[in-house]
Structure 1
Amino acid sequence: MSPYDGARARALRLDAQIGIEELATAGGVSANTVRSAESGHHQPRPRVANAIARALGVPLDELAPPGPALTLCDVRRRLVLTQAEIADKLGVVRQRVSQVERGVTEVPSPQAWAAAYGLSTAQWVSVDAASRDLVRQHVAERARKRRETDQRGNA
């Protein structure tokens, strides 16, 4: 799933001629939360993204459409679950879920984790690999930017 598309949410809200305050009330969130979600400065929590989508009368996929490869975080958000809720299902601490979703650590029992995320074991392996690939891409991008900054500083 792609990141939440705040610009798309704003466009839908404007097309429906709904004000920020009205959408916030309908979604059960604050107006500042709606503004922040629309601005794109950060990704809204799953509960907020779902609330905005429901208030706009659209499926969540319309505000966060599926992309080429889902990550574990994407799957969890589609289930409208928090890391703490997944952790409770598995009997682990939330930080462990965060580490797994970021590709920092592997799990001892893919079957149990797959079930917690509503996936088959084969799907889990695929999505876990996509999560790890994304982490590698982010690390490589940060390293590239750091090298470019260093080169500019040395020039």
Structure 2
Amino acid sequence: MSAYDGSRVRDLRLKAGLRIDDLAAAAGISANTVRSVEKGRHQPQPRVAQALARALGVPLRELARNGRNLSLHEVRGLLGLTQAEMAARVGASRQRVSQVERGAATVRSPHAWATAYGLTPDQWTRALEQARDLVRRTVRTQIRQRRTKRGDTA
């Protein structure tokens, strides 16, 4: 699932009045990389995305796909952090971060977690609920598949 929106990068570049070469120079990357990102040919590595956001003068999440709530995993990816690095930020284990991102665990201090992910508490709560909803849908699907396999109609 791709989190970056190449057309968003292009829109921000044009809004800033920059040519592709200008943005590339400001970000310290090649013009071909900027073109490739803008056309959606590939998703930029976190380092490249961070350089583009910095050069455009916007927060990294501004490069995210519009109209869609991002998962906590995607937000962490936008930040260019591993689970271990996020765990260090929130003072938890990597396993705990994994559980929370999958919606399989809750946290005692959502504000601290939201801050670590660079989100408002409301944004963080929505992302966590999205993960929980995915878990619920997956469990329901697995139950239906088991019932179908056994021949249950209920």
Q: TM-score range by the shorter chain?
A: 0.5 to 0.7
Question: Does the alignment pair 1:111 with 2:112?
Answer: no
1:92 corresponds to 2:106: no
* TM-align CA RMSD: 4.2
Structure showing greater Rg? 2
TM-score (norm 1): 0.54
Q: CA deviation at 1:115?
A: 1.5
TM-score by length of 2: 0.54
Q: CA deviation at 1:133?
A: 2.9
Structure 1 residue 27 displacement after superposition? 1.3
Q: Distance in 2 between matches of 1:126 and 1:14?
A: 31
Write the letter of the residue equivalent to 2:37. Answer: A
* Cα gap change, 1:124 to 1:17, in 2 (>3 Å): closer
Residue 52 of structure 1 and its aligned partner are, at CA, apart by 0.9
Matches of 2:121 and 2:14 in 1, distance apart?
A: 42
Structure 2 regions of 5+ residues with no counterpart? 139-154
Deviations 1:74-116 (A, max 9, x none): 55467x36134212223423x653453244x425xx0256523
Count how many residue pairs are aligned between Structure 1 and Structure 2: 133
1:125-145 per-residue CA deviation (whole Å, 9 max, x = no partner) reads 5431112335777x7xxxxxx
Percent identical across equivalent pairs? Answer: 51
CA shift at 1:120, angstroms?
Answer: 8.3
User: 1:120/1:9 Cα in 2 relative to 1: closer, same or farther (>3 Å)?
Assistant: closer
Which runs of structure 2 are paired with 1:49-68 in the superposition (5 Å)? 49-60=49-60, 62-64=62-64, 67=67
